[in-house]
Amino acid sequence: MRIEYREEPCKSALNPVKGMGFKWSLNPYMGCVHRCTFCYVRHFEHRSDRPFDDRYGTSIRVKTNVAAVLRKELARGSWEHELVVVGAATDPYQPAEGRYKLTRGCLEILRDASNPFGIITRGPMIVRDLDVLVDAARRAEVGVTFSIPTLDEDVWKRTEPSTAHPRQRLKAVKTLVDAGVQARVGMAPILPGISDRPEQLREVVLAAREAGATGIWANLLFLRPGTREHFLEHLAEDWPEQLPLYERLYEGKAYLGAGETKPLRAEVSALAREFGIRDRRKLKLAPPPEPEQLSLTL
């Protein structure tokens, strides 16, 4: 698959966010080569009349000046040093970061400003920036959430066609925690009937504990327009026997209700208590039941 990288400057680095538990996001890149079948960002692409199908992730916008713009924004007298979440719309440690180092540049600026930040990623490349993360954590609240919804080889390969192996992410968790950086595991999205079996959940929580994760949370799949069409198309190819279940569960809605979500979260919480995972972080990067994110594509 051919990937196009478009080097384009940005007018703003910080994006206002609504309904996600934090007010500001930062995305050095737009578009993601991971191309996960369940990616909720496909919904925002659909809403903006951009490709959300298999074309999503084949064109990556590289915000070449994002670090310089961020420095100016953090220096404004009106800036209140609020939490900034890096990677809310696209993985900041996708392969392009190896070449452009925009994420590292932004982290250095956040560190220099002693500004709290969190990172959401599936990319073990983050260990390259351990020096910056350790230094930043001495100055402000810093936390990393690794998305690891499953350790099942088949589910991972079918739903995350271009991501690093989940075990590699767990190694990165351990590296960060051993260095004193708070690193949690986000089990999301859990796929009903596919990755929600008790033994699968237990395997991830136990592995997170062995990696030293400082916290863990779980959430079920969201199927909003854009994500829905793409995911169900792949579901029909990979697990056709599950299609009737999803058509019933998600009929007329994008989010599953408390009847489905509460038992899952309670089971993961019970496993976390059993294995002694204690979330010592004040910072919460787990999304609420119905997130709505604004200005993701600035």
Domains and CATH numbers, the chain: 4-274 (3.80.30.30)
Q: At what angle do helices 130-137 and 166-178 cross, to 10 degrees?
A: 50
Tokens representing 215? 């916290």
Q: From first to last of its 298 residues, what are the pLDDT tens digits of the chain?
A: 788 999 999 999 999 988 778 899 999 999 899 889 999 877 667 666 776 667 777 789 999 999 999 999 999 999 999 999 999 889 999 999 999 999 999 999 999 999 999 999 999 999 999 999 999 999 999 999 999 999 999 999 999 999 999 999 999 999 999 999 999 999 999 999 999 999 999 999 999 999 999 999 999 999 999 999 999 999 999 999 999 999 999 999 999 999 999 999 999 999 999 999 976 544 444 444 333 433 333 3
Residue with tokens 């440690």: 93
Q: Is the bond preceding 189 in cis, omega lying within 30 degrees of 0? A: yes
CA angle, 27 then 30 then 36, to 5°: 105
Instruction: Determine the Cα angle at 50 with ends 44 and 53, to 5°.
Output: 85
Cα separation, 116 vs 83, in Å, equals 5
Alpha-carbon gap, residue 62 to 94, rounded angstroms: 12
233-to-157, 236, 247 alpha-carbon distances in Å: 16, 5, 12
**pTM (two decimals):** 0.91
